[in-house]
Amino acid sequence: MVFDLLHKNKAIRLRDSLNDLDINKAKEFLENNASQSWIDDFRLLYDMITDSRYKISGYTKSLIIGTLAYFVMPIDVISDFIPVMGWIDDMFVLSLTMKSIQDEIENYKTYKGIK
């Protein structure tokens, strides 16, 4: 419960500080990193928030936007300019998000017919 509250507060702070995810930056990020193994998770989250026919809660949407923005922004806890080390925190945030909304991800995969 405490973890969920902390996670929710962090997502809200990220959302509030970003105004909105820059969709063009997210698309550019996808194109530049398409060969990476984790890109499928990033793309799935991106698809979940840009699919106008699929409805998700405001909390889940805020969490996903915060996570995607964290990836797109080069300045974060460990700067992305530092080779290899700069991606560790990004992967951690992505994996936490994927785990915390696992049920919603499974619902979306079912909705889209993805295995």
The verdict on pTM exceeding 0.85 is: no
Q: What is the DSSP letter of 36?
A: S
pLDDT attached to residue 109: 94
| Percent of the residues in the chain that have a pLDDT greater than 90, as a whole number | 34
Q: ∠ CA 77-82-83 to the nearest 5 degrees?
A: 130
pLDDT attached to residue 38: 76
Condensed to tens digits (0 to 9), the pLDDT of residues 39-57 reads: 888 889 999 999 999 999 9
Please check the confidence at residue 22 and state whether its pLDDT lies above 90: no
Q: ∠ CA 80-67-5 to the nearest 5 degrees?
A: 125
Q: Which residue has the higher pLDDT, 18 or 89?
A: 89
Nearest 10 degrees: CA dihedral of 97, 113, 61, 92?
A: 10
* Tokens linked to 50: 């840009």
Please check the confidence at residue 8 and state whether its pLDDT lies above 80: no
Q: What is the mean pLDDT of residues 95-112?
A: 93
pLDDT attached to residue 23: 66
Distance CA 3, CA 52 (A): 30
- Using alpha carbons, list the distances in angstroms from residue 89 to 24, 39, 82, 105, 113: 23, 15, 12, 21, 31
